[in-house]
């Protein structure tokens, strides 16, 4: 099946620094990508929908100035957590909509720990 | 109201037996898609099966089948001949609108444990 990669797989950073997470669709072009956040033992919470060449659409309650999303090409979307704080520690997962739009292919996730 | 409801926080099943994971949904959109994903402890979300609202037959993928009861708004996942490797968290999800509508809503998940 389709492959989506995420980099890095895990990151530890100091409070106040910014962290960039990359999401790549390796064998198909993804017009639309999604960014999720997941706390332990909980469901996935959609943060934003990323469309190539346009501004991301953020879900209610998600700070767009804190979670910067860029979808510069059909195979790459990035999420930058700016001025990270310990409460931003979480598991971040991206997904790419399949070419036909029927489903999403998920990346392996990125574990972020902010000290 | 929750759009996707998974009422079983945890389920146990004996190896080689079948298990049903429940999922009910709520939408007024006539066009929607229903999905099941598996999330093992590694965290990766694995797509299992898809059912479109207009599909006449229940979806099947190997040992996975989706029991789609449109009038009841339920989309239960049936795993036949459970294996130890099936132990994971399972999420039901719904996308409202046609295939290009975009985002999906996820249920709270069910943790399945397969006992040897």
**Test mutation, A39, A102, A107, A112, chain B, max B CBs within 10 A:** A102
Kindly state whether B46 is in contact with chain A, defined as any CB-CB distance less than 8 angstroms.
yes
Measure CB to CB from residue B43 to each of A46, A95, A108 and give the nearest one: A108
Chain B residues in contact with A34 by the CB 8 A cut-off are 102-103
Chain B residues in contact with A91 by the CB 8 A cut-off are 43
Dist CA B70 CA B27 (whole Å):
11
Residue B83 has a pLDDT of 97
Strand-strand pairing, B4-5 and B19-21: unpaired
Among chain A residues, the shortest Cα distance to B92 is held by: A43
The band of B116, judged by pLDDT with boundaries at 50, 70 and 90, is very high
Q: What's the average model confidence in pLDDT over B32-43?
A: 93
Residue B100 has a pLDDT of 63
Cβ pair B104, B94 in contact under 8 A: yes
Q: Which two tokens mark B29?
A: 């959109």
| Minimal CA separation from B14 to chain A, in Å | 23
Question: Judging by beta carbons within 10 Å of its beta carbon (0-12, 13-18, 19+), is residue A80 exposed, middle or buried?
Answer: middle
Residue B77, CA distances (Å) to A76, A112, B69, B100 in order: 33, 32, 12, 24
CB contact under 8 A, A106 and B106: no
- Would you say residue B12 has pLDDT above 90? yes
**What tens digit of pLDDT does each residue of B46-100 get?**
989 999 999 999 999 999 999 999 999 999 999 999 999 999 999 999 988 766 6
Chain B residues in contact with A109 by the CB 8 A cut-off are 43-45
Give pLDDT < 70 ranges for chain A.
1-2
Q: Which two tokens mark B44?
A: 């990766």
Q: Of B86, B85, B68, B89, which is closest to residue B77 (Cα–Cα)?
A: B68
CB contact under 8 A, B103 and A91: no
Question: Which residues lie closer than 8 Å to A49 by C-beta, 6 or more apart?
Answer: A32, A33, A34, A56, A57, B102, B103
Residue B96 has a pLDDT of 86
**Test mutation, B7, B62, B103, chain A, max A CBs within 10 A:** B103
Cβ pair B51, B33 in contact under 8 A: yes
| Minimal CA separation from A109 to chain B, in Å | 6
Measure CB to CB from residue B108 to each of A43, A97, A100 and give the nearest one: A43
Neighbours of B112 (CB within 10 A): 21
Residue A91, CA distances (Å) to A40, A78, B32 in order: 8, 15, 28
- Would you say residue B1 has pLDDT above 70? no
Q: What's the average model confidence in pLDDT over B38-45?
A: 93
């Amino acid at each position: 099946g389709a492959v989506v990669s995420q980099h890095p797989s895990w990151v530890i950073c100091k409070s106040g620094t910014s962290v960039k997470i990359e999401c790549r669709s390796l064998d198909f072009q993804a017009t639309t990508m999604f960014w999720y956040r997941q706390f332990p033992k909980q469901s996935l919470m959609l943060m934003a929908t990323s469309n190539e060449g346009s501004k991301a659409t953020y879900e209610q309650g998600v700070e767009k100035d804190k979670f910067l999303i860029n979808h510069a090409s059909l195979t790459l979307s990035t999420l930058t957590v700016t001025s990270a704080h310990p409460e931003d520690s979480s598991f971040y997962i991206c997904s790419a909509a399949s070419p036909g739009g029927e489903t999403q292919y998920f990346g392996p996730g990125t574990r972020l720990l902010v000290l | 109201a929750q759009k996707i409801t998974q009422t079983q926080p945890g389920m146990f099943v004996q190896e080689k037996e079948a298990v049903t994971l429940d999922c009910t949904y709520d939408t007024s959109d006539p066009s929607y898609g229903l999905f099941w994903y598996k999330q093992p402890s590694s965290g990766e979300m694995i797509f299992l099966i898809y059912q479109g609202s207009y599909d006449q037959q229940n979806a099947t993928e190997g040992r996975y089948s989706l029991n789609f009861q449109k009038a009841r708004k339920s989309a239960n996942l049936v795993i036949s001949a459970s294996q130890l490797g099936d132990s994971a968290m399972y999420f039901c999800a719904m996308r409202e609108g046609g295939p290009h509508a975009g985002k999906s809503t996820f249920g709270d998940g069910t943790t399945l444990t397969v006992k040897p």
